[in-house]
Structure 1
Amino acid sequence: MSKDRIAFQGELGANSHEACMAAYPAMEPVPHATFEEAFEAVKTGDCQLGMIPVENSIAGRVADVHHLLPSSGLKIIGERFKPIHFQLMANPGTKLEDLKTVVSMPFAWGQCRRVLRSLGVTMQAAGDTAASARIVSERPDPTMGAVAPALAAKIYGLNILAGDIEDEHHNTTRFLVMTAQKDPPPPPFTAPCITSFVFRVRNLPAALYKAMGGFATNGVNISKLESYMENGAWTATFFYAEADGRPEDRGLALAFEELSFFAEKFEILGVYPADPFRTRG
């Protein structure tokens, strides 16, 4: 297993690339076209870790990731929150007033409407913010620019014409750090922790209410509870959840014990330190 590589989904210069560099500066970030390929790279040992986005403060949860987590065979060992900033960039020599077309993914330009509207530019869609920077670098068009992270400008030799142009500066993406270790070392005992788990309730009346009752009676905070259909089945709903604490804490242990009575599937996906970003005002 390589101990100096971390997998992410996207192209070089993407927000996930920046997140890898910030969290693990000694590791080599390795891009993958899909989430499945990034998970597989960790599972096979080509990369030691994976950095996977799971939700955004504006766009909500990242599609498909929660479906992949239970079947990935990987464990969650950490979380990182990354403020998202967008830069308007172009090839050297291009001026802001020269721009007529700006390339980016719709989510990115949707977050930069005020600046882009003031420039009166036409938007061109790309599948990834980093890809938009690459596209512009490959076309020496003095009227074309891109909206992408600052790292993309550095990688593809572009100049930043306007920085941090997003309309909402609280835009933040949460990433999970994944490993192929079956039993990763527990987090430091002094660190506040999060436990991620999945479960499927039995097809019984009030099964979810009863399954969650143990968390309330034992004073355990559920910080996330999301449902989705598994394999297209309509009769049983799958849930991804996160609780404050560790499985060995008495309250959480009792809550899990009660949950098991009303769930036909239950699996802990990881126990990891809570990112200090959670407590920032």
Structure 2
Amino acid sequence: MPQRSGSAEDTAKISYQGEPGANSHLAAREAFPDLEAIAYPTFEDAIAAVKNGDARYAMIPIENSVAGRVADIHHLLPDANLYIVAEHFLRVRHQLMAKPGASLATIKRVMSHTQALGQCRVTLRKLGIAPVPGADTAGSARLVAESDDLTTAAIASRLAAEIYGLQILKSDMEDETHNTTRFVVLAKEPDDAEPGNGPVITTFIFRVRNLPAALYKALGGFATNGVNMTKLESYQEEGTFNATMFFADIDGHPVNRSVQLALEELSFFSTQTKILGTYPASPFRKEAAELAASGQVPLKRPG
């Protein structure tokens, strides 16, 4: 993780979206244990905290191995005018929690963020518990703690159970054991990884020209120059169905000749390109690839 000097005001804090006990809170504490993690109600607010100098970094979830991309993030990042300086992968473990005195027999419904509910869908069906979408995981835990209802539970982190005084009725109830969320760390100034100092990820967005096979031609330079593209997603903007933007990750640093050539070819067939950050690849990537290659990554829980 980056370690850069700054004012006492901003170096002491890292912002995240949600409430205390959220998975973003866990990620911030795990990646930056020496910084104070500050909760903000929206992603926009967490990003604005960095832009305004109220926080040094923002810890923002971008995708989950089960539920896919986090909504709205692809629209927020390009216009945030911040830079990705690191990534962090958090193994997500969902706990079913309720007020003291409740039990699995008394629980009829469970509140949580829609993604958390989706990641526990099979387990909830087996338990016969109805899902009720909430604003977020930790916020749902707080609402359950503030209620006297012993028929309603929440799905949140173990930290949330500790913060709000709830008892865990079922541990690690996510359907798939590889459930992992990828976060990006945003900063006001770029802190590009040094070339030749280990694996590097470069993240960028682009919009292709309105030409036949433009996307095919734009991506051709990565293949011919041997640059590995690890992520490519499209999303719509401006309320139209033809202004398609693409969000991409590649292995490599823009100073590398092969990456330079690939990006040059991309720009020739694109109307817009913007690099959002060049940063060290998380060790999790190598570990996950090695486990997958050896067949040691269970995709689903048995039963």
TM-score, shorter chain, exceeding 0.5: yes
Q: CA deviation at 1:259?
A: 1.7
Aligned equivalents of 1:186 and 1:106: distance in 2?
35
Q: Residue deviations 1:54-95, cap 9 Å, x none?
A: 111111111111111111000001111111111111222333
SS in 2 for 1:265: strand
Does the Cα contact within 8 Å between 1:203 and 1:236 map onto a contact in 2?
A: no
Q: CA deviation at 1:187?
A: 4.2
Q: CA deviation at 1:232?
A: 2.5
RMSD: 1.8
1:80 aligns with 2:88: yes
Aligned partner of 1:202 in structure 2 is 209
Aligned partner of 1:178 in structure 2 is 186
Aligned equivalents of 1:259 and 1:233: distance in 2?
23
Moved more, 206-215 or 140-149: 140-149
Q: Percent identity?
A: 55
Q: CA deviation at 1:118?
A: 4.4
Aligned partner of 2:154 in structure 1 is 146
Name the aligned partner's letter for residue 129 of structure 2: V
Q: How does 1:46-57 map to 2 (within 5 A)?
A: 46-57=54-65
Alpha carbons of structure 1 residues 154 and 260: separation in structure 2 relative to 1, 3 Å: same
Alpha carbons of structure 1 residues 93 and 234: separation in structure 2 relative to 1, 3 Å: closer
The unaligned stretches of length 5 or more in structure 1 are none
Alpha carbons of structure 1 residues 93 and 180: separation in structure 2 relative to 1, 3 Å: same
Aligned equivalents of 1:198 and 1:218: distance in 2?
19
Moved more, 143-152 or 72-81: 143-152
Alpha carbons of structure 1 residues 123 and 257: separation in structure 2 relative to 1, 3 Å: closer
Q: CA deviation at 1:211?
A: 1.5
Aligned partner of 1:36 in structure 2 is 44
Aligned equivalents of 1:113 and 1:267: distance in 2?
38
Name the aligned partner's letter for residue 271 of structure 2: E
Name the aligned partner's letter for residue 108 of structure 2: K
SS in 2 for 1:97: coil
Does the Cα contact within 8 Å between 2:204 and 2:277 map onto a contact in 1?
A: yes
Aligned equivalents of 2:109 and 2:218: distance in 1?
53
Aligned equivalents of 2:251 and 2:195: distance in 1?
15
SS in 1 for 2:10: coil
Alpha carbons of structure 1 residues 205 and 113: separation in structure 2 relative to 1, 3 Å: closer
SS in 2 for 1:215: helix
SS in 1 for 2:11: coil
Q: How many residues align?
A: 280
Does the Cα contact within 8 Å between 1:137 and 1:157 map onto a contact in 2?
A: yes
Aligned equivalents of 1:124 and 1:224: distance in 2?
32
Aligned equivalents of 1:96 and 1:261: distance in 2?
59
Aligned equivalents of 2:275 and 2:167: distance in 1?
46
The unaligned stretches of length 5 or more in structure 2 are 1-8, 292-303
